[in-house]
Amino acid sequence: MAEHVEKETAEETKPAAPQAQVQQQMQVEVDDSHVTASYANFCRVTGSPEELIIDFGLNPQPVGVPKNPIGVTQRVIVNYYTAKRLLHALGLSVQRHEAVFGVLETDIQKRVKPMPQR
């Protein structure tokens, strides 16, 4: 069983309180014993006023425009509150990664080095 720790900030409603914000840590137990892992190099986000739909799939031709449709293999539907928490968690994770390994270039054309002409 894995554990997930989430930090929340609660504001006090009393204006005379010496501490304006109180840090509170909650431990949430997560049972990941039945989870299946899959890889995705493609995602699409669509939504409605109530929720976001995030589709994940594998693009076998990551350079250029794919000739065949990309197969979506996983769909995650979240409300906007969960999406905002996910955005924050992903942002922190990417910041930490870039601090150690350098900036991640998302434009594949800038990452691909041209082959020398023969």
Q: How many structural domains does the chain have?
A: 1
CB count in 10 Å sphere of residue 20: 9
Residue 101 lies in a domain: yes
Tokens of 45: 């986000």
Length, in residues, of the chain: 118
Q: Residue 9: inside a domain, yes or no?
A: yes
117 in any annotated domain: no
Structural domain includes residue 77: yes
Question: Is residue 24 in a domain?
Answer: yes
Buried b or exposed e, range 55-87, using 16+ CB within 10 angstroms: bbbeeeeeeeeeeeebeeeeeeeeeeeebeeee
Q: Is residue 116 part of a domain?
A: no
Per residue in 8-40, pLDDT (tens digit) is 333 434 445 455 555 677 889 999 999 999 999
Whole domain around residue 45: which residue ranges? 2-111
Give me the pLDDT at residue 115, please.
74
In a domain? residue 118:
no
